[in-house]
Amino acid sequence: MDVLQDELAKLHGNANLSQSVQDVEKIIEQLERARESIVAGKSDSVFYIRNGGVCETLRGKEGVGIFGQFIHTDVFPDPSSASITLAKIQNPIKSGFEKVNDDLKKVHKGQSVYGRALDKNFPVKALPTEYDALASHPSLINRAIAMHLLREGQFSVASTFLDEAQDNPPHPIPTPGSPRPADSDSTDFTSLRSQELQVKFSNMYQILHELKAHNLHPAITWARGNSIELEKRGSNLEFELSKLQFVWLFQGPEVNGLPADSNNGLEGALKYARQHFGRFQGRFLRDIQQLATAMAYKSNLRSSPYYRTFDTETAWDDVSSSFTREFCSLLGLSAESPLYIAATAGAIALPTLLKLASIVKEKRTEWTTQNELPVEIALPKSMIFHAIFVCPVSKEQTTDSNPPMMMPCGHVVAKESLQRLSKGGRFKCPYCPGESHPKDARQIIL
């Protein structure tokens, strides 16, 4: 890329059209000067026309080429200022145009040098465009984009987009991958539905904004309002928020900058704990005990065993991200924009897929697995979301129709492998000496 940058700088510095503009300007100047002198000579020329005979003989004898000489030698008075002026600028203008052409050649050369550098450092790779499963579902993509914009807080762009998409609904294009464009695609991602989402997300951004300003109250109110769902998810967000509030108050006005009254500092924290921690006693008794004991160490907290609990360095970012996660989860959405993750994963997967395509083309084979990609694509750890079970016998991933089965010995194989191994009778586990009957194996959900 550095090479390209250098080449580009060269292109920008040396091979541009500004020189040719200047040279064209020079030609214009010459023409203008010529015009002036012709206009100036116009009164004289009347004389020459009257004495046409002289000119005639001159011309007949000497020809055009000699005129320059007349001027230099100054033998005759200007016979026809116009024709001399014109003759005089013939060559300069011609060379002027040559100059312009040279300028252009230089630009052209610079561009081809850059083009070669581009080809060398950035060779063209064909995109796998022949298979496009998405062209038949533009309305679904539109919906995904609208939701992406909303969740990223780009409300004005989102509403522009919704209006435009409403006015010009996309035309689904059938593809070989999915021959019939789904008519059932819900195109009803109407403004009503999006408004609802927008309200929710603007609420989320509001709360996040407050969190950034170290104000926990809106977040706590939200968490309390949704405490049942949160608990079902095994989330302790509400308690984490309350705990942070306690810690925040505990640190007193020097740290939190809140007014130094009875609602702040140790006193305020205690008051807060009395008021709010009661409801958490069942689930978080240990944490509450810790917080309470820590109060005794108020004066030398830094050297106390509770120092970690009171370290708010990262705590704010942590609660912000877990708040975002829980908020989106309750809406049935992932915390990160799926569009972002999918596009990134796509960019990571493409080199492998392109390599595969080239091999397939070279070997003139085709892959027949319709449901599964033919190659493994390595993704960063953060992009693996589900437990994946690959049957150790058949090396296939388990699916709804071919679920994982656990034998009494605790080893797991896919259902189809189990049937093939056992042939209906007792069989030995392929991984241990344990023998069992297929009916003893049970389906598990990973």
227 scored as a contact of other proteins (CB under 8 A): no
229 scored as a contact of other proteins (CB under 8 A): no
Q: 245 with 272: CB under 8 angstroms?
A: yes
359 scored as a contact of other proteins (CB under 8 A): no
Residue 276 CB, shortest distance to other proteins, in Å, is 17
**Cα gap 205→215, rounded to integer Å:** 13
Residue 329 CB, shortest distance to other proteins, in Å, is 6
188 scored as a contact of other proteins (CB under 8 A): no
Closer CB to other proteins, residue 178 or residue 422? 178
Q: Which of 253, 258, 431, 438 binds other proteins (CB under 8 A)?
A: 431
Residue 364 CB, shortest distance to other proteins, in Å, is 21
76 scored as a contact of other proteins (CB under 8 A): no
Residue 340 CB, shortest distance to other proteins, in Å, is 5
Q: Which of 66, 131, 202, 221 binds other proteins (CB under 8 A)?
A: 131
Q: Are strands 435-436 and 404-406 parallel, antiparallel or unpaired?
A: unpaired
Q: Which of 187, 215, 304, 334 binds other proteins (CB under 8 A)?
A: 334
Q: Give residues 252-311 in contact with other proteins (rule: CB under 8 A).
A: 282-284
- Number of residues this chain uses to bind other proteins (CB under 8 A): 160
Q: Which of 54, 66, 134, 359 binds other proteins (CB under 8 A)?
A: 134
Closer CB to other proteins, residue 162 or residue 249? 162
Q: Please measure the distance between the N-terminal and C-terminal CA atoms of the chain and give it in whole angstroms.
A: 46
Q: Which two tokens stand for residue 212?
A: 């950034």
Provide Rg for the chain, Cα atoms: 41
Buried b (16+ CB within 10 A) or exposed e, 101-130: eebeebbeebeeebeebeeeeeeeeeeeee
**Cα gap 324→247, rounded to integer Å:** 21
Closer CB to other proteins, residue 241 or residue 249? 241
Q: Which of 102, 383, 394, 428 binds other proteins (CB under 8 A)?
A: 383
Q: 136 with 174: CB under 8 angstroms?
A: yes
Q: 414 with 398: CB under 8 angstroms?
A: yes
5 scored as a contact of other proteins (CB under 8 A): yes
Nearest partner of 148 among 333, 348, 326, judged by Cα: 333
Q: What is the dihedral of CA 271, 274, 279, 283, to 10 degrees?
A: 100
335 scored as a contact of other proteins (CB under 8 A): yes
x/- contact string, 384-413, with other proteins (CB under 8 A)? xxxxxxx-x--x-xxxx-----x--xxxx-
Residue 388 CB, shortest distance to other proteins, in Å, is 4
Distances from the Cα of 57 to the Cαs of 61, 62, 77, 211, 289, in angstroms? 6, 9, 15, 101, 124
365 scored as a contact of other proteins (CB under 8 A): no
Q: Give residues 91-110 in contact with other proteins (rule: CB under 8 A).
A: 93-94, 97, 100-101, 104, 107-108
195 scored as a contact of other proteins (CB under 8 A): no
Closer CB to other proteins, residue 140 or residue 255? 140
Q: Give residues 110-129 in contact with other proteins (rule: CB under 8 A).
A: 111, 114-115, 118, 122, 124-125, 127-129
Q: Which two tokens stand for residue 148?
A: 């992406």
68 scored as a contact of other proteins (CB under 8 A): no
Q: Give residues 32-51 in contact with other proteins (rule: CB under 8 A).
A: 32, 34-35, 38-39, 41-42, 45, 49
421 scored as a contact of other proteins (CB under 8 A): no
Residue in the block written with tokens 């509400």: 238
Distances from the Cα of 272 to the Cαs of 225, 275, 287, 298, 387, in angstroms? 19, 5, 15, 16, 41
Q: Which of 178, 290, 304, 422 binds other proteins (CB under 8 A)?
A: 178
Q: Are strands 427-428 and 442-443 parallel, antiparallel or unpaired?
A: unpaired
Residue 359 CB, shortest distance to other proteins, in Å, is 14
Q: Give residues 230-259 in contact with other proteins (rule: CB under 8 A).
A: 231-236
- Phi/psi of residue 404, each to 5°? -70, 140
Choose the binding region for other proteins from 90-98, 260-268, 270-278, 291-299 (rule: CB under 8 A).
90-98
Indicate the burial class of 146 (C-beta count within 10 angstroms; 0-12, 13-18, 19 or more): buried
Contacts of 85 (CB under 8 A, 6+ apart): 34, 37, 38, 41
Closer CB to other proteins, residue 359 or residue 379? 379
Q: Which two tokens stand for residue 147?
A: 């939701």
What's the gap between Cα 34 and its chain centre?
A: 59
Residue 321 CB, shortest distance to other proteins, in Å, is 9
